[in-house]
Amino acid sequence: MTGEDQLILVNENDEMVGVGEKLKIHRTGLLHRAFSIFILNSLGELLLQRRALNKYHSPGLWSNTCCGHPGPGEPLLAAARRRLKAEMGLDCQLTQVGSFIYRQDVSGGLIEHEFDHLLIGHSDLDPTLNLEEAVGWKRANFERLRREVSDHPEDFTCWIRVIINTQLHVFSYQSLLARQAGKRLDGPQGG
């Protein structure tokens, strides 16, 4: 089993409580550490990916730029940059702007139950897709994305729907603007 097949089990405070096999965790719905990356361009548009059709859950759905799980002993930001490079061919600085817990049934009888760390970065480059991970991409501002998620929720992953519907993305966008302006923005880390 590779390190990418092992996920970090956590409690509601994101404290490690164990390690488990990825597919088993998704079958049983155990809470595990994850990250969701949001890459914005200089116009404030979010880079979205369409998940590959061979993914074991949520195939072919639109989602944020990149998602993943750190392996045991792997720092969160290092794992996130590794996955962003592997999936989208992009390498940029990432900043954590918040986190939340969600639990949703996904396709194939699997359950996503994640302590999800929200990470943002900036790039105006077009991605170079790894077709094993993503089969399409587009950019959308948050207002357009909110409308698309509202009009066609079945086209989007459960986690991007939660993030858009709960307005968690607003903090991410405000954080990016403040960072670009050279300011520090403090805010809630959970929630």
Q: 3-class DSSP state for residue 160?
A: helix
Task: Report the C-alpha dihedral over residues 143, 93, 12, 61, rounded to 10 degrees.
Answer: 50
Closest CA to 120 of 142, 98, 135: 98
Residue 119's φ and ψ, nearest 5 degrees, are -125, 140
Provide the H-helix boundaries in 19-153: 22-28, 76-88, 142-151
Known catalytic residue: 114? yes
> Of these residues, 66, 87, 112, 114, which one is catalytic?
114
Please name which of 53, 117, 112, 52 lies closest in space to residue 88, comparing C-alpha atoms. Answer: 52
Q: Are 190 and 100 in contact (CB under 8 A)?
A: yes
Task: Tell me, yes or no, if 21 is annotated catalytic.
Answer: no
User: Are 33 and 7 a contacting pair, CB within 8 Å?
Assistant: yes
Helices marked H in the chain — which ranges?
22-28, 76-88, 142-151, 158-165, 168-180
Q: Is 95 helix (H, G, I), strand (E, B) or coil?
A: strand
The catalytic residue among 67, 87, 133, 158 is 67
Residues annotated as catalytic are 67, 114
